[in-house]
Amino acid sequence: MSDDLYFEGDPANDSARRHLERVLKEPERHPRWPWVVGTVAAAAWYFWPRGRSEKANTSHAPKIRADRG
């Protein structure tokens, strides 16, 4: 029996059935969100220590007063 054989009926039901057949026949797609999460985590891992070291350097730096001559 052929998978492409369609019987006449309600267009709304036929449309939904054809859509489900197309979805089930297409190859499996891999989700993209793990790549996004991995990229954000790598960026956070890269920039976190640099931001903390810059903050530490500015908080312990001696303050220079402009009114001294």
The answer to whether the CB of 14 falls within 8 A of the CB of 6 is yes
Answer yes or no: is 47 within a domain.
yes
34 part of a folded domain: yes
* Proportion of the chain above pLDDT 70, given as a percent: 54
Report if residue 4 sits inside a domain. no
Residue whose entry in the numeric block shows the structure tokens 């001559």: 69
Residue 44 confidence class, pLDDT cut points 50, 70, 90:
very high
pTM for the full predicted model:
0.37
- Supply the range of the domain harboring residue 54: 11-60
Domain contains 52: yes
Domains in the chain, number: 1
Percent above pLDDT 90 for the chain: 17
Q: Whole-angstrom Cα distance, residue 51 to residue 69?
A: 33
Q: What is the pLDDT of residue 7?
A: 61
- pLDDT-based confidence at 63, cuts 50/70/90? low
Looking at residue 36, what is its pLDDT? Answer: 92
